[in-house]
Amino acid sequence: MKLKVENITKTYGKVVALKDVNLEVGEGEYVVIVGPSGCGKSTLLKVIMGIIEQDEGGKILVDGKDVSNLPPEDRNLGFVFQNILLFPHLTAFENIAYSPIVKDFNLQLRDKLIEELFLFGKVDPWRDKYPEQISSRGIQQKVALMRALATGSKLLLLDEPLCSLDSRVRISLRQEVKKIVKQLQITAIHVTHDQEEAMSIADKIVIMRKGSIVEIGSPEELYYYPKNIFTAYFLGKGNFVPGKIVRRKYKQSAVKCGELVFESASRFELGSDVVVFFRPESVVFERKGYNDYVGKVIEKRFLGRQIEFIIKVGATTFTSRSLRIDAPSLNVGDTVDFHVDEERILVFKFPEEGLESAFKLE
């Protein structure tokens, strides 16, 4: 099932919850919408579901058909919410079967669908248990997911479905949810404020901020080559160093940041105020001849599989991250040679509103 969101705006008095949002989701795609709390993610999902009416002028198209004026029950969508919503007086089986029953499916088709769901979801052991008898919240949420899928809908909307679960359960369930959705060839829109969750399961990530879509792309594109500085900031740790373009040759330029100079590809004119950006893992502990620096380790953080070093060079500090096995044996106070991978350095225009405002989450 395909979805097209066209020019959706939603205001509550003076609060603009959504500002001219446009989005296309292709058949079978797993799209994750990520953004800080309050940026309009739930409002967007609710407008798609039909439980909130958008301001005039916007449209929701499902498989090319305008459903903007249809009530939620006629849009044929499945939903899963952050709060696990199961009928307490029905068993897991009855909860899952509820929707096909109320929808009066062909009985044979209904049984086939339910059996398929039990199989994919691996919830069979809990078939005859009531929600309160299921101690794992992860399993409860999975039953809620199965119930949403049992509507037979080919478009699933998930609003922070893993948010109330323990981190271990969250991490395994997110992969499982994606797998089930893919097996059933369903199109999904999954909303989260967790960047890592978004990157680990999305075919396509949509970054939202203050009621608008900032950027859309694959996890790798947005993580390493974001076009917008907010995306760079929001999707994970990064080094952001303000500077000025001091040299240009073809597509290559040098950015002076205090006493440091970065060589990289960029399109800015000589003299422009810019920000150099790179991820902590783009710091490499060896000399290469360009983007070489000598710094001092001022902090070391053990992160399990990775080690993070905070390195000071002149007035600038960098964060580096390496796999523990690749990390040099450095301690606080040590001097270190390193370079920054030129291919992984991006140069952004210095934001007019200042760096702090450009990164503000609300």
CA gap 328, 300 in Å, rounded? 11
When binding is defined by CB under 6 A, the residue of 7, 15, 185, 312 that contacts ligand ADP is 15
CA gap 250, 267 in Å, rounded? 9
Dihedral sign (CA 183, 188, 193, 199)? positive
CA atoms within a 13 Å half-sphere pointing along the CA-CB vector of 110: 16
- Pick the stretch among 36-44, 62-70, 119-127, 224-232 that binds ligand ADP (CB under 6 A): 36-44
CB of 243 vs ligand ADP, minimal distance in Å: 33
CA gap 103, 101 in Å, rounded? 5
Whichever of 39 and 235 has its CB closer to ligand ADP, that residue is 39
When binding is defined by CB under 6 A, the residue of 3, 34, 39, 199 that contacts ligand ADP is 39
When binding is defined by CB under 6 A, the residue of 41, 142, 154, 321 that contacts ligand ADP is 41
Size of the site for ligand ADP (CB under 6 A): 11
Q: List the interface residues with Mg ion, window 28-87 (CB under 5 A).
A: 42
Helix-strand-coil split of the chain, %, nearest 5: 30, 35, 35
CB of 192 vs Mg ion, minimal distance in Å: 9
Helix, strand, or coil (residue 19): strand
CB 100 within 8 A of CB 152: yes
CA gap 90, 103 in Å, rounded? 17
Whichever of 39 and 92 has its CB closer to ligand ADP, that residue is 39
Query: Of these partners, ligand ADP, Mg ion, none, which one is at the site of residue 39 (CB under 5 to 8 Å by kind)?
Result: ligand ADP
Whichever of 12 and 250 has its CB closer to ligand ADP, that residue is 12
CB of 38 vs ligand ADP, minimal distance in Å: 4
Whichever of 208 and 254 has its CB closer to ligand ADP, that residue is 208
**Running DSSP on this structure, what letter comes out for residue 303?**
-
CA gap 262, 318 in Å, rounded? 13
When binding is defined by CB under 6 A, the residue of 1, 5, 17, 347 that contacts ligand ADP is 17
**Running DSSP on this structure, what letter comes out for residue 258?**
T
CA gap 85, 170 in Å, rounded? 17
Query: Of these partners, Mg ion, ligand ADP, none, which one is at the site of residue 17 (CB under 5 to 8 Å by kind)?
Result: ligand ADP
CA–CA distance from 181 to each of 30, 129, 226 (Å)?
8, 24, 27
Whichever of 134 and 198 has its CB closer to Mg ion, that residue is 198
Q: List the interface residues with Mg ion, window 143-202 (CB under 5 A).
A: none
Site residues, Mg ion (CB under 5 A)? 42
Site residues, ligand ADP (CB under 6 A)? 12, 15, 17, 35, 37-43
